[in-house]
Amino acid sequence: MHRSPVVLRATNLQSQEDRSSVRIHFSALDFKLWTLGPPDIDRVRPPHCPCCGSVGHALDDRIQLVGHGVRRRSVRGVIVWGETPRSWSVFCRRYRCRGCRAVVVVAPRGLLSRRQYLASAIALALVLYGVDGLSHSRVRQAVNPDRHHGFDADGRWRTLTRWIDDVGRGLLGRLLRPPSGTPRRQVAATYARALSVRSLCHDAIIQVSAMDGAMMATCL
């Protein structure tokens, strides 16, 4: 189903709620288009300033949210089930409101603040480990494009362990946390199924639906 590239969510990137803070908006414009270069400035301009409510581009052609450069983000992971993991450079658009001077960053859905991996890659890891029962090593091979191992002495991939814990703290939105003491593999399975329910791909296998649900979670 085609989805128009509309802005889906605004999030404050700073702790203080004021008009000078930077905001990030997530767009449904296909992720791969963002890797080709910054999208057209009018195509992803937010309809309103999230701080003062001014119309981004009024009917009388007055532009309240003006272009303010681009921001490059390096990300990695998988966006389509079955593809080889890789790294990308994503060029996010920046706008400044003429009214309140707020800076608005528009980015593709799936990017997570201060994270190298896409939300879809984290969701896939949860499915492979929790539902499919794969080892830490095989999960890493499925989502990490690098050869560096990063395993603990007991063969665990530290990043996967952190992801499971961080998802419980709200990394991919609010999810019901299993009872304390639940084995981590079972916890991962619970989160993977919860993300799958959020997906619009209702008839898809869980690998696909959980990845889509995680990408949608960044826009809720």
What is the H or E stretch that residue 36 is in? none
Q: Where are the domains of the chain?
A: 7-108, 119-217
What's this model's pTM, rounded to 2 decimal places? 0.83
Q: Beta partners for 173?
A: 171
Judge residue 132's burial from the number of C-beta atoms within 10 Å of its C-beta, 0-12 exposed, 13-18 middle, 19 or more buried. Answer: middle
Angle between the 184-198 and 119-126 helix axes, to the nearest 10 degrees?
A: 130
pLDDT tens figures, 110-166: 999 889 999 999 999 999 999 999 999 999 999 999 877 667 667 789 999 999 999
pLDDT tens figures, 174-219: 898 899 999 999 999 999 999 999 998 888 999 999 999 999 887 6
Task: Let me know: does 26 contact 8? Beta carbons within 8 Å.
Answer: yes
In this prediction, residue 2 carries a pLDDT of: 40
pLDDT tens figures, 37-73: 889 999 999 999 989 998 998 877 889 999 999 989 9
In this prediction, residue 60 carries a pLDDT of: 79
115: which 2 tokens?
């994270």
Report the 10 Å Cβ neighbour count for 62: 11
Task: Let me know: does 80 contact 142? Beta carbons within 8 Å.
Answer: no
Eight-class DSSP state of 82: T
Which amino acid makes up residue 128?
L
Mean pLDDT of the chain: 86
